[in-house]
Every structure is written in C-alpha cells, then in structure tokens.
Structure 1
Amino acid sequence: MRGFSCGRRMLAVLSAVALLGGCALGSAGQDQAGAPRPVGAVTMVVPFAAGGGSDISGRAMAAGLTSVRPQMRVDVDNREGGQGAVAYSYLLSKAGSPNYLLATETSLLVLPLSVDVAFSYRSFTPIMKLGEDYTLLVALPSSPITSCAQAVDQSRHRRVLAGISGALGPDAVVFSEMERVAGGDFDTVPYEGGGETMAAVLGGQVELASLNPSEVMGQLRAGELKALCVFADQRYTYPQLADIPTSVEQGIPVSFAQFRGMIAPGGLSPEATEHWISAARSFAESPAYTEYVASEFLQPRVAFGQDFAAYLEESEKLVAQVVRR
C-alpha cells in the first residue's frame, strides 16, 4: 500500500513532536495524582477531530457518565494530531490522576507497533470496552466501483485513491489486508478523523473511503454515498445495514473490528481505578449506553478493567501480524 508507508514516515515525525509536548506537560500535569477519586471537573480527551467516530464516542461517554453520576462534570477536550499520538502522550503526562479519561480505539494498539512512541496500552489503565465497530467501504454513487472485489481489481490496473482516518489506524489495517490477501494496490490518503475523510470522498478528492456506519449513515440515506461492503464475517443485523454485503461474501477475506473504549492514566490508585470501573458498569446498564450503541450501530460487546486488558493483549497480537509484516 503506497500511502501506508508514506503515512508511516509522516507519523514518525508527528509522534516525535507529540512526545516532546508530552514531556513538557509532565511536571505540571500531575493533577490530583494518587487521589482515590476525581476532584472537580473531569476531562474526557478525544484523540481525533470533532465529527468522527472517536469524537462521537467520547461525547457519548462523557454524557453517559454524568447521567449515572449526576454530581460529576465531564468536559470533552479534542486533542487531535499525530494520528492520535498527541492525545495519548498528553494522557501519559497525567499519570496517577483520576481527573482524566480518554476515548480510545484501535490506534492505541497500532501506534506503538508502528512508530517509536513512549507508550503502549500498558501505560494506561483500561476502564471499559464499549463495543466493536466494523467499517464500511463507501464511494460516490457515480463511481464505477460497485463492490470491494471490484475495488481490489481496479486498484491493480489504475490509481485508486482511498481516504482513511489516521495513517496507521483501523482503516489502514483493512486496506493493508486487502492488499495482503487479495493483491490490491491502493493509494491511501490519511486524514485526522472521520469528518475530514467524509469531506474528502464527498468532494471527490478520494474515490473510496473506509468509514464507520455512524459516520456515514446520513449520507447513505440521502443517496450521497453508496456502501460497497462491510469488512466483517457476517452482515449487520440493524435493518439500515442488513442489505450491505460483507467483504467475505465478495471473496475478499478481510474482517476487522475497531473497538471503542475508555482508558484512564496509568498509575491510578486502586480506589480510583475501582471508582471509574464502577461508574463504567453503571453506564453500561443505563439507557444512555443502549441509546449510544443503537445510534452508532455498534456490536455491544463490553469488558471492564482486567477483562478489557486481556482483550487488548489478544488484539495487539492480531494487529501486530498486519502492522509488522
């Protein structure tokens, strides 16, 4: 994948900048370090720009936590840059503080496997895995490409530009897998989030894009985009998505789920860790969680604390097979 290697070099530079910024914040960032629970307002850090799936997830978690803990205030802070590295480096500087959370997803695993950053998922405290999110391959209705299989075939014979959210995120993984298992050859163009990727495909800057269902549902309903496939083993059961064939059905054996989750800084006290896991469990049992999952078309597969950490460990092994090939 020609764009993948280019994005890799770009991210190495951006990550270095992010790490320098994180170091500068370190001494001033130990807010309430070691405290058993947050004091005052809590910050939900979002690693990508407003409008994408991570932003939607972060805002849903912030609102959901306050719905089950009315005395709590959670502010959302979008810290995009470095394909997520800026936000993770920022959270790294908040070690021990229960006043910070981060809306995480698969870039937490991909970044440390791909570039020289000072963190891995082990640097943080896993709180909750909200669910799993399979992406769609979409194009303008006027595009001659009508399926994932045809996208692979076209990429072998001509230049096909594909927009992705993050140079090394889940979208990059699915295109990399399409090349590995099916012989495609795509030019990927990384953007900072789903909103920018959406604008690029709608504006014709790229021909294809990998986007989450929640990011693209409005455009599908309006006929502004068409879905070529979902990168999954089985079709979605949501009525709005049930007619979209899987990549596997089309002879492209690529299935990859992005997880959505919540982490806290590393070094939390046991009391602070339990505080957030308890709040997360209450959120998972609330109408706010049910509404979020349905509105974002997620698979509601939850995990908390050590179970979330075990999921991350297994997922890291899978991602490493793709990223390090």
Structure 2
Amino acid sequence: MMRTSRTTAGTAALLLVFGTSACAGGATTGAAGAAALSDETTMIVPFGAGGGSDIAGRTIAAGLEEATSSNVTVENRDGGAGAIGYSHLLSKAGDPNYLLATETAMLALPLTADTEFDYTDFTPIMSIGEDFTLLVVDARSPFTSCAEIVERSRSERVVAGVSGATGLDNVVFTMVEQAEDARFDRVPFESGGEVMTALLGGQIDIASLNPSEVLGQLDSGDLRALCVFADERYAYDELADIPTAKEEGIDVSYGQFRGLIAAGGISEEATEHWTAAGREFMGTEAYDAYMRDNYLQPDPLYGDEFRAYLEDSSSRLERVLNP
C-alpha cells in the first residue's frame, strides 16, 4: 500500500519514477528469500556526481572495500530529488549486496510526496556524522549578509537554487521562511555541483551548500559565504570567520546526517557484516580525513541507535514540511 502525505508540485512525475523503479531488477523479495553476501556490492548514490552525497558515497565505498576485501561499485542513480535511487534500493529487498549513501532526502521525500517507501523500509547500518550548510552568493552579488537577504525577500524576488526538492538546503530555506516571514523562489537541481554552476552563472541569487562543495570557490574568491545554519561557528580555520544565522537574528539551525543503509529484509548476518565493516572504516585515518576534508561533525551511530535517530529526525522534519 502506498503511503500518502501532503503532495507538492512534481508529485505526478515522482509517481511515474516510483512506478517504474519499483519493478526494476529485484531478484529477491523479503527476508524469507534473502540473498547471500557476495564479493560484488553496489553502492547507490541517489544524486549526481560531484555533490556532497557523491563524495560521501565514494568515500564509504572505498572504506568498505578496505574492510571487507570485496568490490564495492558506486552507481549514481539520480533523478526525482533522490527518488530514483531510493526506489531502486527498495526493489532490491532481501539482497545484501546493495547499499545506499543516505542523507536527509530519505526522510523528506515521504513527507512531501506520495512515495512507495519511507526510512522503515530499509536496513539502517550507520550514520557517520553531520554537516551544516553555508548560505553562499556569487562574489559579484550585492548581498552582504543573510539578514539582508531575508529582508529583501519580503518585498522582492530572491531566487534560491536547491539540490533536489526535498534536500537539506530546501529544508533550511523552508525553516527560514517559517521563522522569518521570508519568501524564496526555488529552482531545483539534481546535485550541489549543478546548483553551484547555476550560482556562478548568474541563474540564481543564493544557494545553501555544504562546505565541501564550495570551499574551492570560496578560496578562489568566486563565491562568498554569508552565514552558516548551525548553532555554533565551524571550528575549522577556513570557516571560522563565517557567522551563524543566529548571530544575524535568524533562529535556524539544521544539520544533515550522512550515513549508510542497506536494502530492507536482509538477514541478521548480513546486517552485522555491514555494521562491522562500517565500524572498521570509521576507525581509520581515511574516515578522519574525510571528516576533516569535508568539514563534517563526527556523530557515529550504528543499527538501532541510527534507527532511533532517523525516527526522531523524521518527526522533526514533519513539523517543518507539513506544519
């Protein structure tokens, strides 16, 4: 039975995606017919190449290869604001050889459109940490602060690029609108890389992007960061001068988790296999380097702890997206 919730623009297109993807490729169905682990695993990234999800997926895949001595192939299945990737994993129920690099879209999609899945349809493996987005503008932009952008949006059109209609940046912009009586016109893209290209090309006015996606452009002077949507400033030297939105009177803070899920209905043995591999990866220098290079805050959670985190985060998102 399809779960239903408030439907947003674009639901018809998402339904077509779901109907097509759910029928694709699943050789196993449910725990009773759970497949065995093999030396070949597919890591699904539900967004395009170059964005934060892609970076996370490829890093985790490499770490799991190291931990298990198996081959983990990354497969970008972007489209439908992440729906195509998640629907593809849904079709692999019972097969432990399919993983997905997950983030906030897994929780937001079922709250904003009619979907065939929610987070309970998958097997939670681990959360590796959180990141907080920066509000950035082109270096030539007249905007000098986040407070100025909010004020301008109340009387003039401000165009915001978002990576997927249900991604973290869209959640943050919605929270700003609710808290500050602001209004943004959104243009959705399939990845943070596409959003940044549009910002540099003058197609949009503002964007909310992960530090890892924009640090190079901040260093080169092509982009400027006006604030970070976090409770405290980043401690990293490169970001320490960026004020929080709260410092500018905008009471908005929201972190995106980065994590790993497997198909639903896999065996307990397979779940333990991937959880153990994740723990091993997160004890390596590669994990430390990823967190450091991508400016994430470590928050490792496994199995049931990760499931509880998802339940709490889903409830919080519902209050934002379906007030």
Contact 2:79 2:190 in 1 (8 A): yes
Q: In structure 2, which of residues 202, 205, 208 is the aligned counterpart of residue 204 of structure 1?
A: 202
Hey, what does 1:4 align to over in structure 2? none
Q: Summarize the alignment of residues 76-115 of structure 1 with structure 2, pairs less than 5 Å apart.
A: 76-115=74-113
- In the alignment, the residues of structure 2 paired with residue 249 and residue 239 of structure 1 have an alpha-carbon distance, to the nearest angstrom, of 18
1:41 paired to 2:34: no
Unaligned runs of 5+ in 2: 1-6
- In the alignment, the residues of structure 1 paired with residue 73 and residue 217 of structure 2 have an alpha-carbon distance, to the nearest angstrom, of 29
Secondary structure at the counterpart of residue 116 of structure 2: coil
Hey, what does 1:242 align to over in structure 2? 240
Contact 2:176 2:250 in 1 (8 A): yes
Decide whether aligned partners of structure 1 residues 31 and 268 sit closer, same or farther in structure 2, where only a CA change above 3 A counts.
closer
Secondary structure at the counterpart of residue 220 of structure 1: helix
Q: Summarize the alignment of residues 298-317 of structure 1 with structure 2, pairs less than 5 Å apart.
A: 298-317=296-315
| Structure 1 position 30, deviation (Å) | 5.6
String of CA shifts for 1:173-194, please: whole Å, max 9, x gaps: 1111111111111111111010
Hey, what does 1:266 align to over in structure 2? 264
Mean Cα deviation higher: 21-30 or 129-138: 21-30
- In the alignment, the residues of structure 1 paired with residue 96 and residue 22 of structure 2 have an alpha-carbon distance, to the nearest angstrom, of 19
Contact 1:140 1:224 in 2 (8 A): yes
| Structure 1 position 27, deviation (Å) | 4.7
Q: Which amino acid aligns with 2:9?
A: R
Hey, what does 1:51 align to over in structure 2? 50
Secondary structure at the counterpart of residue 55 of structure 1: helix
| Structure 1 position 272, deviation (Å) | 0.4
Q: Which amino acid aligns with 1:216?
A: V
Q: Which amino acid aligns with 2:40?
A: A
String of CA shifts for 1:251-297, please: whole Å, max 9, x gaps: 00000101100000000101000000000000110111111111110
Contact 1:229 1:247 in 2 (8 A): yes
Q: Which amino acid aligns with 1:75?
A: T
- In the alignment, the residues of structure 2 paired with residue 20 and residue 49 of structure 1 have an alpha-carbon distance, to the nearest angstrom, of 21
Contact 1:89 1:119 in 2 (8 A): yes
| Structure 1 position 222, deviation (Å) | 0.3
| Matched pairs, number | 316
Hey, what does 2:3 align to over in structure 1? none
| Structure 1 position 241, deviation (Å) | 0.6
Contact 2:127 2:260 in 1 (8 A): yes
Q: In structure 2, which of residues 150, 157, 169 is the aligned counterpart of residue 171 of structure 1?
A: 169
Contact 2:26 2:93 in 1 (8 A): no
- In the alignment, the residues of structure 1 paired with residue 294 and residue 30 of structure 2 have an alpha-carbon distance, to the nearest angstrom, of 33
- In the alignment, the residues of structure 2 paired with residue 34 and residue 124 of structure 1 have an alpha-carbon distance, to the nearest angstrom, of 14
| Structure 1 position 66, deviation (Å) | 1.3
- In the alignment, the residues of structure 2 paired with residue 99 and residue 29 of structure 1 have an alpha-carbon distance, to the nearest angstrom, of 11
- In the alignment, the residues of structure 2 paired with residue 136 and residue 188 of structure 1 have an alpha-carbon distance, to the nearest angstrom, of 17
Hey, what does 1:66 align to over in structure 2? 65
- In the alignment, the residues of structure 2 paired with residue 15 and residue 129 of structure 1 have an alpha-carbon distance, to the nearest angstrom, of 27
Mean Cα deviation higher: 139-148 or 94-103: 139-148
What TM-score do you get using the length of structure 2 for normalisation? 0.95
Hey, what does 1:15 align to over in structure 2? 14
Question: In percent, how many aligned pairs have the same letter?
Answer: 53
Q: In structure 2, which of residues 111, 118, 121 is the aligned counterpart of residue 120 of structure 1?
A: 118
| Structure 1 position 29, deviation (Å) | 5.9
- In the alignment, the residues of structure 2 paired with residue 314 and residue 179 of structure 1 have an alpha-carbon distance, to the nearest angstrom, of 22
Secondary structure at the counterpart of residue 298 of structure 2: coil
Secondary structure at the counterpart of residue 139 of structure 1: strand
Secondary structure at the counterpart of residue 247 of structure 2: coil
RMSD over aligned CA atoms reads 1.5
Mean Cα deviation higher: 163-172 or 74-83: 163-172
- In the alignment, the residues of structure 2 paired with residue 155 and residue 239 of structure 1 have an alpha-carbon distance, to the nearest angstrom, of 31
Secondary structure at the counterpart of residue 249 of structure 1: helix
Contact 1:18 1:82 in 2 (8 A): yes
Decide whether aligned partners of structure 1 residues 216 and 45 sit closer, same or farther in structure 2, where only a CA change above 3 A counts.
same
| Structure 1 position 13, deviation (Å) | 2.1
Secondary structure at the counterpart of residue 42 of structure 1: strand
Secondary structure at the counterpart of residue 302 of structure 1: strand
Contact 2:78 2:84 in 1 (8 A): yes
- In the alignment, the residues of structure 1 paired with residue 26 and residue 74 of structure 2 have an alpha-carbon distance, to the nearest angstrom, of 22
Which structure 1 residue ranges, 4+ long, deviate > 3 Å from structure 2? 26-33
- In the alignment, the residues of structure 1 paired with residue 45 and residue 219 of structure 2 have an alpha-carbon distance, to the nearest angstrom, of 27
String of CA shifts for 1:148-201, please: whole Å, max 9, x gaps: 111101111211111111112111111111111111111111110101001000
